[in-house]
């Protein structure tokens, strides 16, 4: 499977810290409706969650802000990253491209079904360092997205890169 980008959701250590700090407790009473940002699944009815505040920025960018996110109350393991998670594709999303100084250089509100096309377009811009995806309605941060390093391997010859460039602009998701 060849991908142009990789999802970089909340990592396990950060999720553990957020659980320790605590948040507002919820029990999912609908599905979908409670998207966990660690496992990138919508919680099943009856699942326990915490609503916490997460700041995904690493510099003092003027865009720096924390967003509300749901996480399962207990460690829920590795996220789905080999396919585009349904928690993204079935929602209205705000997609924001940032340069390496974490300055926003592009943004769009899209139907989640168009997420792959939008990511491909944003990451095609060399100035884009990474992308943040949020739920458009309530602003919950969903995941960061970066280029797949396997598509930017400088050790590959130009011919190989040329050959792969078609694939490197396509994400296979089923």
**Span from 7-15, 62-70, 75-83, 110-118 in contact with Zn ion (CB under 5 A):** 75-83
Binding flag, residue 91, Zn ion (CB under 5 A): no
Pairing of strands 48-54, 24-27: antiparallel
The count of chain residues that interact with Zn ion, using the rule CB under 5 A, is: 5
Task: Among 7, 28, 36, 140, indicate the residue that binds Zn ion (CB under 5 A).
Answer: 36
Binding flag, residue 15, Zn ion (CB under 5 A): no
Binding flag, residue 18, Zn ion (CB under 5 A): no
In DSSP notation, 108-160 reads EEEEGGGHHHHHHHHHHSTT--EEEEEETTT--EEEEEEE-GGGS-TTS-HHH
Cβ 160 to Zn ion, closest distance in Å?
A: 38
Q: Return the closest-CA partner of residue 152 out of 8, 10, 2, 1.
A: 2
Cβ 41 to Zn ion, closest distance in Å?
A: 6
Three-state DSSP state, 10: coil
Query: Rounded to an integer, what distance in angstroms lies between the CA atom of residue 95 and that of residue 110?
Result: 7
Task: Among 7, 15, 28, 39, indicate the residue that binds Zn ion (CB under 5 A).
Answer: 39
Q: Which CB, 69 or 168, lies closer to Zn ion? A: 69
Cβ 14 to Zn ion, closest distance in Å?
A: 13
């Amino acid at each position: 499977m060849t991908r142009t980008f990789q999802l970089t959701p909340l990592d396990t250590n950060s999720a553990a810290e957020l659980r320790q700090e605590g948040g507002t407790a919820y029990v999912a009473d609908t599905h979908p409706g409670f998207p966990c940002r660690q496992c990138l699944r919508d919680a099943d009815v009856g699942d326990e969650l915490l609503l916490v505040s997460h700041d995904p920025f690493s510099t003092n960018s003027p865009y720096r802000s924390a967003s509300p996110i749901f996480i399962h109350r207990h460690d829920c393991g590795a996220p789905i990253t080999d396919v585009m998670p349904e928690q993204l594709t079935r929602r209205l999303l705000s997609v924001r491209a940032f340069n390496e100084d974490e300055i926003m250089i592009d943004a769009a509100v899209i139907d989640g079904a168009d997420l792959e096309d939008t990511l491909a377009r944003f990451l095609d811009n060399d100035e884009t360092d990474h992308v943040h995806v949020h739920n458009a309605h309530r602003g919950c941060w969903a995941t960061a997205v970066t280029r797949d390093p396997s598509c930017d391997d400088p050790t590959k010859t130009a011919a190989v890169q040329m050959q792969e460039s078609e694939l490197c602009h396509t994400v296979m998701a089923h």
